Amino acid sequence: MTSKTYAIAASIAIFAGASLFLIKTTRTLSFSQKERDTISQTKTAAVQRPTPTINPAILRLSPVPATVKAVYLTAWSAGNETKINEIIKLADATELNAVVIDVKDYTGEVAFRTQSEQLRAVGSETDKIKDLPQLVSRLHERNIYVIARIAAFQDPLLAGRKPELAILDSRTQKPWKDNKGLSWVDPADTRVWDYLIEVANQAIKAGVDEINFDYVRFPSDGNLATLQYQTYNARALTKADQLKQFFKYLNGKLKPTGAVLSADLFGLSTLNTDDLGIGQVLENALLYFDYVSPMVYPSHYASGSFGYKNPALYPYDVVYQSLTSAMAKRNRLIAALTASSTQALASSTSQLAPSPKTPIMVQVGTIRPWLQAFNLGATYTPDMVRKQIQATQDAGFTSGWYIWNPSNVYNAAAFLPQQ
C-alpha cells in the first residue's frame, strides 16, 4: 500500500469511526430516557392519529439568505419544543439564519407523517416531528431557512423490509452490515432513487427550502469483500459514474419543483483526484447540485495531513487548504465546460454567421461546507468553530456553511462575528 493510499484509507476510516461516535451520541446527549420513552409511546399511538394536513399556502422562505449559516438538528431535537425555542433564541441573538433537520436519518426512519402511500407501505414514517409543515412555518416566521437532510444509501430499515433493494452479504444472502451494524441499499437501483425522491417531495410539500442528501456513496467500512450488489455492475460502470447517473436523475426529478439541492461529500473529495473508493467526485456533484457540502472536519483527516500530526488542532489551516483546493477544482471545471460549450457552438455555427466573440459562461454548483463543532481530536471551543467560518470566507466561498454537532448543543459565542 502506498503512503498516499494509506492516507486515504486512514482518513476514510476516521470518517467512518467518527460516524459511529456521532450516531452513538446523537440521542443520548439530546434526550433523557424518560423523554425517549415518551416519544416511543407517542410514536406507537400515532397510527390512530390523522396525518397532518399540508397547507398549500405554505411557501418557502423569501428572500433566501444570501449566506446560509446553519446548525444541524436531529429529528428528535426538531420535534422537541424546548430545543426549538432554544434554537430560535440562538438565531435571534447571533448571525445564525438556518437549520438542517433530519427528515430521514441513518436508521432509515422518516421523521414525519406524510401523504405518501409509498412510504406508508414501507412503514418508514414516524412521529419524531409531530407536524413538519407547522414547524417549517414557525421557523419561516422567524426568517429561518429550513434544510431537510436525507440519508440516502445507508438505510437499514428499507434494506430490511425490502431486501430486494439491499446490498447483500455474499455469505448469507441477507442484507450486508457495515462496522456499525447498519445495512445499505444498492446505489444503482432506480427503485431506491425513486423512494428517496418521494421522501424529498414530501418534505418539499411541507415547505422546506432545501433538500440535502447525505450518504450519497458506496460503503466505506466493514467487510467489503463480502459485498454483493443486486443491481450495481462494476464491469459496466465505475462507482463514480454510477453516482453521477444518480445525481443527474435527482436533478431531473427534483429541480422542476423549484427545490434547492445540496449533497454531502467526504472532506477528502476536495483534495483527491480519485473517487476515494466510494464513488464521490467533487466535480460530478457540482454538475447537478446547487451546493456541494464537503465535510471538512479537521478531526477527520489522518495524522500527517497538511503536515500536522493532529489536524484537529489546526481548524483554520485544514478548512482553508481543503476549500482552496475545492475552489481550484471548481474553477477548472467551469473553464473546461466553458471551452467545450464554446467549441460546440462554433462548430455548429453556419459559415455565414459570425463566430461568437465571447466565450459561453456555464453555471455549476458552489461549495457550502460542513464545519466541526464537536469534540474529537481536540476540544472544540467557540473560537475553533469561528476559525473554520473565517477560513471558509477567506477561501472565497460566501454561500455559507453548516455546523455539525451530534448533541445539537451550540455555543452562541461561535456565531458572533469578531468586530
Task: Give the architecture (CATH level 2) of 3-47+66-342+362-415.
Answer: Alpha-Beta Barrel (3.20)
Query: pLDDT band at 227, cuts 50/70/90?
Result: very high
**pLDDT (tens digit, 9 = 90+) per residue, 1-19?**
444 443 555 555 555 544 4
pLDDT for res 162: 98
Rounded to whole angstroms, the Cα distance separating 24 from 330 reads 35
- Which residue is it, cell 420535534? 79
CB 228, CB 80: distance < 8 Å: no
Going from N- to C-terminal start, the domains of the chain cover 3-47+66-342+362-415
> Is the model's pLDDT at 30 over the cut of 50?
no
Q: Residues 268, 12: contact at Cβ < 8 Å? A: yes
**247 near 288, Cβ under 8 Å?**
yes
Neighbour tally for 339: CB within 10 Å: 13
pLDDT (tens digit per residue) in 356-405: 555 566 789 999 999 999 999 999 999 999 999 999 999 999 999 999 99
How many residues make up the chain in this entry?
Answer: 419
Q: Which H/E stretch holds residue 402?
A: strand 400-404
% residues pLDDT > 70 (the chain)? 81
Record the pTM: 0.86
Residue 119 has pLDDT above 80, yes or no: yes
